[in-house]
Structure 1
Amino acid sequence: MKLNYRIVIFALAITFGVVFSIPSLLQTEGGKKITLGLDLQGGLHMLLGVKTEEATKSRIKSITASIKHFSERNDILIDGLTFDEGTIKFEVLDSDEIAKVQEYLKEIDGAVVSLNNQIISVSLSPEEIEKTKKLAIDQAIETIRNRLDQFGLSEPVVAKQGEEKILVELAGIKTQEEEQRARELISRAAKLELMAVDEDRAARVYNMSASDAAAYGDVILEDAKNPEVKYLVREIPILDGGMLTNANVGFDQNNRPVINFKLNAEGAEIFGDFTGKSVGKRLAIVLDGKVYSAPNINERIGGGSGQISGNYTVLEAKDLAIALRSGALLAPIYLMEKRSVGPSLGADSIKASLIALIGGFVLVIIFMVIYYRAAGVIANIALIANLFLLLAVMSLFGATLTLPGMAGIVLTVGMAVDANVIISERIRELIREGKSMHKAIEDGYANAMSAILDANITTLIASVVLYAYGTGAIKGFAITMSIGILASMLTAILGTHGIYQMLESKMMKSKNYKFWFGIKGQ
């Protein structure tokens, strides 16, 4: 027997497979492990709806804030800047500036601009409204997925269903507290706005109605800690969370959790300009329509950073920071359907799948040994190595194992030995033709290679397509199939060839074709 590079690589692959699959097989405390999907360990299934019409209102409000900043930045005097659900209106006091304003408005995607005397109206085209609604759904899916990833759940399923629905499946949610926390994180709008307090009328806020405030271009907002406390703020925000780049949990001088946030370059510029000309006034930090703090501006604040303080726990602050980092939802979402999936189904599914896996594995091993003798034993060694490699790679990447994924493993057992069947048959054919043992083995691998590669590559392409366009359980099936195919090509082609080369001298001496390949030689 002699070592060769193939057998060394095969031995390293087996070692890798055993070492990294042990945490999953033995469920040790340390090490990376395969996580079970919703259908195997239970969890939460939700169907969410998206209020897409709110996305259009939010877009109009954001454009209004941009127009206000543009006019102030360029010293253009405008009056009566107001907006409703679909239209922004304002008057340009200097007619010479109208062309400049119109030029700016042309840069806004989908804006429909009309001029009547010196009053400009801005609305969104029907195509832009539909585009905004579609974007709200796509953004909601991405935002929810980002939040859940940062929440710590492994591979949550977040997918579009129909036109305006979102399917969310969370594996491992077992307690009411975990469910409530996940639901709050998903549904939280996390809309951050920095709004100017109307200092001229702030003292009258408790004697004003919403319509009275609207007449002055203001809105009345509640304090987040105490709903009895009211603030009168300008309806058009200084800037919003769309300019947020980061948010992290910190602690104030009293060791209470706060959220430190940072703005992008545009936001930092707007923030600096506003604070520079508003010294002595207050700036309200508003999150989801509630005022978390309204500090006095003592000096110009550069750098584009700020802080949100509130009466919340470290865990609540962490979830809020996650929501802010992942971005505000363009449109509110609401729960349409919810059901909890119990782990009993998972236990039954795992048991049935294990029986199928072990049963299929044992039958394949028995067949290979009976039919191919020593060659069957070598193929079975490659099959075992393939399973260990599959589990190791899935564990290393923290992959989620679903019921279809387990079906993929069962199917991989059959596919992994298929390459060895093709190779063994080619070798047997050449031996029957009178070729020497060495020639039969080398030519057998060479002749079988194209068939093995064609079969595996086409199956791999199908698996990649399933993963790219599938969702949830389909992705789990595609992942296990892809890893299994790649592992089988390593073990079946490289590994078994290395074993044959190592044993070749012994095989040549014995010339016992019946023992080695289950046939009679010439």
Structure 2
Amino acid sequence: MKILNYRLVIFILSIIFGIVFSLPSFMQTDTGKKISLGLDLQGGLHMLLGVQTNEAVTSKIKSIATSIKYFADDEDLLLEDLSIDNDTITFSMLDKDELPKIEKSLEQISGLKISVDGLNVTVSLTDKEIERTKDLSVSQAVETIRNRLDQFGLAEPTVIRQGKTDIVVQLPGIKSQEDEKSARELISKPANLELMAVDEERADRVYTMSEAQAAEYGDLILEDTNDSNRLYLVKEIPILNGEQVIDAKVAFDKSNQPIINFTLNSSGARIFGDFTAKNVGKRLAVVLDGKVYSAPSIRERIGGGSGQISGGFTVQEAGNVAIALRSGALPASVKLLEKRSVGPSLGADSIEASMMALILGFALVVVFMVVYYRRAGVIANIALVTNIFIIVAVMAMFGATLTLPGMAGIVLTVGMAVDANVIITERIRELLKQGMSIPKAVEDGYSNAMRAILDANITTILAAVILYAYGTGPIKGFAVTISIGILASMLTAILGTHGIYDALMPKISKDKNTKKWFGVN
């Protein structure tokens, strides 16, 4: 008697796969891939952030001004009165023969409106470029925040865009006020690093000068990070900004105080080296988020493209700043619009209620199938249990996050999985009532049921794809769970149970007791 067949072998392998890869999630072992619980199941923090997109436009204008200044210095072009006002760059050329060179360099930057009046040049962004910059700033903010949270060590953070300027951030597992504070600071910190030249000619007048007067000279007045009464007068156009930073690490100085060592890319290192070579004896301010952390004097040319930030950090603050610098500066600051905390106890109640629904639903289905379909019901229940193991195993393998809608999806999948077995068994029962032999009834029963099962499952998967494409986090979780459940049920109900019937067919045919096997005379 031939027991093994290809359908049964595939089904057995599916059972082994499901059990092996789902056990870490069920047993919560220290090893192996496990399903992560979402915000609604384990508690955490939900925030709605608004990106100040106008700041991104200002930042881009400032970056363009930095490029103009470096190009002019590198090519020894004579220009003066380089300044920014209302997101417009203005400067004057001293030699009309050098005007074509600066115009050519500006033409290589897309999205600019360039106006030349004699030797005076005005540069601004086109309306289309302004909109593109604003849209890109939100997308960049999403990626930057996600990178920061990944490096911070939070499991499965959700960071998604909502509308034109808003971002939804969900942080499962945030249970203490300290964790919440650290996460919020890390998310909202602009980490805008700038190296700015101190205006040595007017530095002594900084305490008697207004911001408007400083702006007339193309300067800014910035505070010291540790002493708000200490002021610095720096050039408005930075020498370098955070875009050139490729690495940042926490270190300790000779007095064992935390500092941050940063490394620049090749272009940043070249600009840094050239500037320090030409400005020996002058001061260079290290500015982070509009505060001066230090302003050391340049003693010699600084090569190698590395620098240091010191300013009375704690170890945790230094670590967070280093993470922010590594993951990139936010193109614009973010504003907290809404905050919601979900307690662990609420999450535990949700898990308990969902598990109760799953267990009760599963138990009722199992009992009904055995009572009504007898041994065919037992076979269907084996497929049903395997189906749940496979769902959990696949979700664990891909590191999926299980949310409350996802739990609802599993409960729904139990009913959908047994539905295919009901259709198949009913077709077999109909054929047996017509007097067909058991082997023929089983084969034709599967063939006749296939179209109805495929139609129902394909339409449901299409609906799940639409939910995943247009839904938010919890809806996506529901769609993923349903999709995995449908595919698993097709494997277990169509292939698995058919393989069991093929293996048991000699015994069923010999027994000829259709009441015992299929619940019908």
> What TM-score results when the alignment is normalised by the length of structure 1?
0.90
Q: Relative to 1, partners in 2 of residues 1:306 and 1:431: Cα closer, same or farther, differing over 3 Å?
A: farther
1:91 deviation in Å? 0.6
Structure 1, 376-385 or 29-38: larger mean CA deviation: 29-38
Runs (5+) with no aligned partner, structure 2: none
Secondary structure of residue in 2 paired with 1:33:
coil
Counterparts of 1:83-162 in structure 2, within 5 Å, are 83-162=84-163
Distance 1:114 1:238 in 2: 25
1:301 deviation in Å? 4.3
Q: Could you report, residue by residue, the CA deviation over 1:49-77 in whole angstroms, capped at 9, with x for unpaired residues?
A: 23222222212211111111121222221
Instruction: Kindly provide the amino acid, as one letter, of the partner of residue 196 in structure 1.
Output: A
Q: Relative to 1, partners in 2 of residues 1:425 and 1:320: Cα closer, same or farther, differing over 3 Å?
A: same
Q: Relative to 1, partners in 2 of residues 1:311 and 1:446: Cα closer, same or farther, differing over 3 Å?
A: farther
Q: Counterpart of 1:274? A: 275
Distance 2:108 2:57 in 1: 18
Distance 2:486 2:318 in 1: 45
Distance 1:2 1:481 in 2: 33
Instruction: Kindly provide the amino acid, as one letter, of the partner of residue 392 in structure 1.
Output: A
Q: Counterpart of 1:312? A: 313
Q: Could you report, residue by residue, the CA deviation over 1:64-121 in whole angstroms, capped at 9, with x for unpaired residues?
A: 1111112122222111101112211101111122222222222333221111111001
Q: Counterpart of 2:331? A: 330
Secondary structure of residue in 1 paired with 2:520:
coil
Is 1:461 matched with 2:448?
no
Q: Counterpart of 2:502? A: 501
Structure 1, 206-215 or 141-150: larger mean CA deviation: 206-215
Distance 2:484 2:322 in 1: 36
Counterparts of 1:340-489 in structure 2, within 5 Å, are 340-489=341-490
Instruction: Kindly provide the amino acid, as one letter, of the partner of residue 56 in structure 1.
Output: V
1:279 deviation in Å? 4.2
Counterparts of 1:122-271 in structure 2, within 5 Å, are 122-202=123-203, 205=206, 208-251=209-252, 256-271=257-272
Q: Counterpart of 1:77? A: 78
Q: Relative to 1, partners in 2 of residues 1:477 and 1:266: Cα closer, same or farther, differing over 3 Å?
A: same
Q: Relative to 1, partners in 2 of residues 1:279 and 1:496: Cα closer, same or farther, differing over 3 Å?
A: farther
Q: Relative to 1, partners in 2 of residues 1:414 and 1:349: Cα closer, same or farther, differing over 3 Å?
A: same
Q: Relative to 1, partners in 2 of residues 1:293 and 1:504: Cα closer, same or farther, differing over 3 Å?
A: farther
Q: Relative to 1, partners in 2 of residues 1:198 and 1:490: Cα closer, same or farther, differing over 3 Å?
A: same
Instruction: Kindly provide the amino acid, as one letter, of the partner of residue 428 in structure 2.
Output: I
1:181 deviation in Å? 0.9
Distance 2:428 2:83 in 1: 84
Instruction: Kindly provide the amino acid, as one letter, of the partner of residue 142 in structure 2.
Output: I
Distance 1:15 1:254 in 2: 59
Q: Relative to 1, partners in 2 of residues 1:254 and 1:18: Cα closer, same or farther, differing over 3 Å?
A: farther
1:433 deviation in Å? 4.9
Is this contact kept in 2: 1:156–1:171, CA < 8 A?
A: yes
Distance 1:508 1:256 in 2: 83
Distance 2:470 2:428 in 1: 40
1:222 deviation in Å? 2.9
Is this contact kept in 2: 1:38–1:341, CA < 8 A?
A: yes
Distance 1:254 1:458 in 2: 68
Distance 2:419 2:121 in 1: 73
Structure 1, 260-269 or 401-410: larger mean CA deviation: 260-269
Is this contact kept in 1: 2:89–2:123, CA < 8 A?
A: yes
Is this contact kept in 2: 1:157–1:471, CA < 8 A?
A: no
Secondary structure of residue in 2 paired with 1:445:
helix
Q: Relative to 1, partners in 2 of residues 1:426 and 1:305: Cα closer, same or farther, differing over 3 Å?
A: farther
Structure 1, 412-421 or 271-280: larger mean CA deviation: 271-280
Runs (5+) with no aligned partner, structure 1: none
Instruction: Kindly provide the amino acid, as one letter, of the partner of residue 193 in structure 1.
Output: E
1:292 deviation in Å? 2.8
Distance 1:281 1:237 in 2: 15
Instruction: Kindly provide the amino acid, as one letter, of the partner of residue 383 in structure 1.
Output: L
Distance 1:459 1:305 in 2: 56
Counterparts of 1:38-49 in structure 2, within 5 Å, are 38-49=39-50
1:280 deviation in Å? 4.5
C-alpha root-mean-square deviation of aligned residues, in Å?
2.7
Q: Relative to 1, partners in 2 of residues 1:278 and 1:464: Cα closer, same or farther, differing over 3 Å?
A: farther
1:303 deviation in Å? 4.8
Distance 2:47 2:23 in 1: 34
Structure 1, 267-276 or 199-208: larger mean CA deviation: 199-208
Identity over aligned residues, as a percent?
Answer: 66
Distance 1:324 1:461 in 2: 42
Secondary structure of residue in 2 paired with 1:115:
strand
1:17 deviation in Å? 2.3
Aligned residues: 520
Instruction: Kindly provide the amino acid, as one letter, of the partner of residue 394 in structure 1.
Output: M
1:229 deviation in Å? 4.3
Q: Relative to 1, partners in 2 of residues 1:439 and 1:145: Cα closer, same or farther, differing over 3 Å?
A: same
Distance 2:136 2:421 in 1: 50
1:514 deviation in Å? 2.0
Q: Could you report, residue by residue, the CA deviation over 1:492-521 in whole angstroms, capped at 9, with x for unpaired residues?
A: 23322222222222222222222222223x
1:189 deviation in Å? 0.7
Is this contact kept in 1: 2:83–2:236, CA < 8 A?
A: no
Distance 1:265 1:185 in 2: 27
Structure 1, 232-241 or 31-40: larger mean CA deviation: 31-40
Q: Relative to 1, partners in 2 of residues 1:67 and 1:448: Cα closer, same or farther, differing over 3 Å?
A: same
Is this contact kept in 2: 1:154–1:400, CA < 8 A?
A: no
Distance 2:303 2:432 in 1: 82
Secondary structure of residue in 2 paired with 1:136:
helix
> What TM-score results when the alignment is normalised by the length of structure 2?
0.90
Counterparts of 1:11-26 in structure 2, within 5 Å, are 11-26=12-27
Structure 1, 88-97 or 160-169: larger mean CA deviation: 160-169
Distance 2:225 2:487 in 1: 55
Q: Counterpart of 1:515? A: 516
Distance 2:490 2:283 in 1: 67
1:281 deviation in Å? 4.0
1:29 deviation in Å? 4.1
Distance 1:171 1:261 in 2: 31
Deviant stretches of 4+, over 6 Å: none
Distance 1:274 1:458 in 2: 65
Q: Relative to 1, partners in 2 of residues 1:295 and 1:483: Cα closer, same or farther, differing over 3 Å?
A: farther
